[in-house]
Amino acid sequence: MTEIIVPSVGESISEVQIGQWLKKEGDWVAAGTDLVDLETEKASVQISAPEDGILLKILKQSEEFAAVGDVIASFQPAPKTAIPAPTSAPAPVPAQVAAQPTVSISTQPQPVGGTRIMPAAQRMLGDNQLSAGQVPPTGPGGRLLKEDVARFVSHSVIPATSSATPTTSPSVSTQSLMQQGPPNRSEEVKPMSMIRRTIATRLVQAQHNAALLTTFNEVDMQPVMQLRTKYKDAFNEKHGVKLGFMSFFAKAACEALKRFTSVNAEVRGNNIVYRNYCDIGIAIGGGKGLVVPVLRNVEKMSFADIERNIGEFASRALANKLMPNDLEGGTFTISNGGIYGSLLSTPIVNPPQSGILGLHSIQDRPIALNGEVVIRPMMYLALTYDHRIVDGREAVSFLKTIKDVIEDPSRLFLEI
């Protein structure tokens, strides 16, 4: 028997939270197959099967916490001479394992309608009298997670059955309602996830340790939208990636950071550390919450490089595949609340950074242009900055630079 232990997942990380078990007790697992997701304070990591064998016993359940080095499961390696038959039949089980009455031996989870159902999700389906086909799966490899079922139940409306009392009989309807009893006032207590703990700690740290102030402006998005419409097909054909708005703002932010270096700086004790490079964090809504992977040396990246890296980060974030080093560092952050419909907000600086740019939804609004009222696609911009090292004049000028570059993208290529 082999012990499955929590590995070292990064410097200063001593505790993890058990995420979703991807295999259940008794499953035959091929070497290298992911067994479980572990959630750390920075990202999610996976533990894979060390070799072919059977997952005997799960010792730490989902949402429980474990320290680095803790044993979370036991694993029975297959005998070196035993090779599972390459057919659809269940893999052969070692005799010494089959003799243990407490272990339920099974093959890999059989898909139901093409969907792999996790044990917790299966129990929740039964409790709510649902079938797997009713609930959209979002887990790795199309797995149906208990979170999927919970989300479906919380957003579903139970239709009235054909045996319900007709609405033409008020007295009977009232009696039927009274028979339902008092409203459900139950509560559910769940531990805060590791990533959510870190987010909470860092946001409070920013509020306590920095002098935060936000300045606003608005930008006419029509020039960028026209440029994008004109070249998006050729861009996609040449680079194999779509041309989005974020690459324009990342390059515009780099231009502004070059001009106003204090926004790209950091307070370190009684010193100010200035950087001559732009490592820009891009806030992404991941599978476990908001994450901010970092694009490094954006000043040297092309538009295609930026779009390609953002797309890869987004895919890995949704699959909880980001690594701790993807989230470390960063000299400035861009957060796009507009994709969720936000019209205006005051983003919070990600310490020890000194600035964060907030993007918002694009809306057609009337503006005065050359003495006439015209309708343009407008976006509000917000820059939250640490007033300890960034003066108001610099912050306003920084945001004005981004506005000027976005409204005249040719400045990016002429460096003016």
* Judgement on whether residues 24 and 142 belong to the same structural domain of the protein: no
* Judgement on whether residues 148 and 12 belong to the same structural domain of the protein: no
In a domain, 55, yes or no: yes
87: helix, strand or coil: coil
- The number of folded domains in the chain is 3
Q: Which of 90, 107, 124 is the last residue of a domain?
A: 107
In a domain, 179, yes or no: no
Residues of the chain with pLDDT under 70: 11, 42, 80-115, 140-141, 154-181, 286-289, 414-416
* Judgement on whether residues 259 and 395 belong to the same structural domain of the protein: yes
* Judgement on whether residues 349 and 404 belong to the same structural domain of the protein: yes
* Judgement on whether residues 268 and 403 belong to the same structural domain of the protein: yes
Residues 271 and 173: their CA atoms lie apart, in Å, by 72
Task: Specify the DSSP class assigned to residue 189.
Answer: -
Q: Is 130 exposed, middle or buried (0-12, 13-18, 19+ CB in 10 A)?
A: middle
Cis amide linkage into residue 352, ω under 30° from 0: yes
For residue 42, which phi and psi values (nearest 5 degrees)? -115, -40
Query: What's the Rg (C-alpha) of the chain?
Result: 27
Q: What is the pTM of this model?
A: 0.65
* Judgement on whether residues 128 and 95 belong to the same structural domain of the protein: no
Q: Which of 91, 107, 123 is the last residue of a domain?
A: 107
Residues 68 and 60: their CA atoms lie apart, in Å, by 13
The CA-CA-CA angle for residues 132, 135, 139, to 5°, reads 90
Beta-bridge mates of residue 116: 143
Using one digit for the tens of pLDDT, what is the confidence trace for 180-216?
A: 667 888 888 888 877 778 778 888 888 888 999 999 9
The CA-CA-CA angle for residues 289, 291, 293, to 5°, reads 160
State the residue range of the domain holding 8.
2-107
Q: What is the predicted pLDDT for the residue at 415?
A: 63
Distances (CA, A) of 297 to 15, 75, 278, 329, 344: 31, 43, 5, 12, 29
* Judgement on whether residues 57 and 120 belong to the same structural domain of the protein: no
For residue 281, which phi and psi values (nearest 5 degrees)? -85, 135
Using one digit for the tens of pLDDT, what is the confidence trace for 131-166?
A: 877 888 877 667 777 777 777 876 664 444 444 444
Catalytic residues: 387, 391
- The enclosing domain of 119 has a CATH number of 4.10.320.10
* Judgement on whether residues 400 and 276 belong to the same structural domain of the protein: yes
Q: What is the predicted pLDDT for the residue at 322?
A: 81
* Judgement on whether residues 270 and 395 belong to the same structural domain of the protein: yes
Q: Which of 77, 107, 137 is the last residue of a domain?
A: 107
Q: What is the predicted pLDDT for the residue at 95?
A: 40
* Judgement on whether residues 93 and 145 belong to the same structural domain of the protein: no
Q: What is the predicted pLDDT for the residue at 203?
A: 81
If we measure between CA atoms, which residue out of 340, 378, 341, 334 comes closest to residue 358? Answer: 334
- The enclosing domain of 334 has a CATH number of 3.30.559.10
Residue with tokens 């059989």: 110
In a domain, 58, yes or no: yes
* Judgement on whether residues 74 and 13 belong to the same structural domain of the protein: yes
* Judgement on whether residues 72 and 53 belong to the same structural domain of the protein: yes
Cβ contact 237:273 at 8 Å = no
